[in-house]
Amino acid sequence: MAAVVLGALFLASCSSDLPQSSLNPQSVEAEQIDRLWDLVFWIGFGVFVVVEAALIYAIVRFRKRPGDEAEPKQVHGNTRLEIVWSIIPVVILAVIAVPTLTTLFDLRRPAEGDFLRVEVIGHQWWWEFRYPDILDGDGRPLTTANELHLPAGTTSELQMTSADVIHSFWVPSLAGKRDVVPGRFNYLKITPDPGTAGDMIKGQCAEYCGLAHADMRFRVFLDGESDFEAWSAEQLAASPVPTEGPEAAGYETFTALCTTCHQAKVETPEGTVDVIGAALGPDLTHFGSRTSIGAGIEDNTTEHLAEWIDNPASVKPMSPEMNDLAAGRIMGMPDYGLDDQQIAELVALLEMWK
């Protein structure tokens, strides 16, 4: 029974269909890490086999047999043997150290040539992504939240920092884990395989950062070149200010409440583009184009969105009572006690903003 339970636990880790696995590398960098893992694994496996074989041999060959009363010969030290079992590990560790250091230095080297710059800002408990080289007519960078788009086959360099506490950015299939620390910049290179175009890969915060740490997730979309260009053009555009229907009523509520923390770039029917609201929470300009809500925890459906606006804390643990707007600190979305109609209007507005 114990063997069955242990076997099941052991074999469960062999599943290849896991959403976040570094054993399923999809980028140049993740493949480098995976090769290093393979090398260390097989060397470790070889050592295990040799040591266990020697142990079993010694147990069987030198076991006490019936009628064996004499004490075995007592030995203290064997210089030749000790030199051999000191030198072998030194050689093995040297063999591991060379590719380990090469990989480490390689992954830390700044991106060269043609690469895309992305700024990653960790917040309690969501991710902000900015593209400093993709600007609108007024020089504002493309800004989005919780869903990162990267061109497949091209290197992107992520410049990462935090607005509050230490987080850690981790997409196991694309890159190693890297801390996201307030007051400093850490960098991470990702070169997704060209064949990943059209794929979505999940990631998540990997450093305990408070109440909703486990729900500080994100999705990485790997786009073909033309898809990435279409996506960035779409995201740079302003969203329309609705003039009629439930969307217009939703816009009233939006500007009365949501803009306390959320920002949106909007365009009036007359063609005036304006950025409204405060950039304390996720930018909502193209919220309707995102596939998830609440930092990647649920799919972006009408039902989930209504539930989220109605009672955010039921979807994700947060502490909005600790919000300090003057200090620019947001710890969660408050429940404004909106009625069903107001919620439906807000949902209509946000779904219109593709």
Binding site for ligand CUA (CB under 6 A): 122, 125, 167, 205, 207-209, 213, 216
What Å distances lie between residue 103 and 30, 91, 97, 107, 190, CA to CA?
A: 11, 19, 10, 6, 14
Strands across the sheet containing 200-205: 147-151, 217-223, 200-205, 167-170, 178-180
Minimum distance, C-beta of residue 57 to ligand CUA, in the bound complex (Å): 49
* Closer to ligand CUA by Cβ: residue 122 or 296: 122
* Closer to ligand CUA by Cβ: residue 122 or 294: 122
* Closer to ligand CUA by Cβ: residue 212 or 293: 212
* Closer to ligand CUA by Cβ: residue 36 or 211: 211
Minimum distance, C-beta of residue 209 to ligand CUA, in the bound complex (Å): 3
* Closer to ligand CUA by Cβ: residue 167 or 316: 167
* Closer to ligand CUA by Cβ: residue 207 or 247: 207
* Closer to ligand CUA by Cβ: residue 41 or 208: 208
What is d(CA 222, CA 156) in angstroms, rounded to the nearest whole number?
11
Minimum distance, C-beta of residue 21 to ligand CUA, in the bound complex (Å): 19
What is d(CA 111, CA 175) in angstroms, rounded to the nearest whole number?
14
Minimum distance, C-beta of residue 214 to ligand CUA, in the bound complex (Å): 8
Minimum distance, C-beta of residue 320 to ligand CUA, in the bound complex (Å): 17
What is d(CA 118, CA 232) in angstroms, rounded to the nearest whole number?
13
End-to-end CA separation in angstroms for the chain? 54
CA atoms within 13 A on the CB side of 219: 17
Cβ–Cβ < 8 Å for 189, 107: yes
Minimum distance, C-beta of residue 19 to ligand CUA, in the bound complex (Å): 17
Minimum distance, C-beta of residue 218 to ligand CUA, in the bound complex (Å): 10
Residue type, 328: G
Cβ–Cβ < 8 Å for 346, 251: no
Kindly give, in sequence order, each residue whose CB lies less than 8 Å from that of residue 140, ignoring residues fewer than 6 positions away.
265, 275
**Residues of the chain by 3-state class (helix, strand, coil), percent to 5:** 40, 25, 35
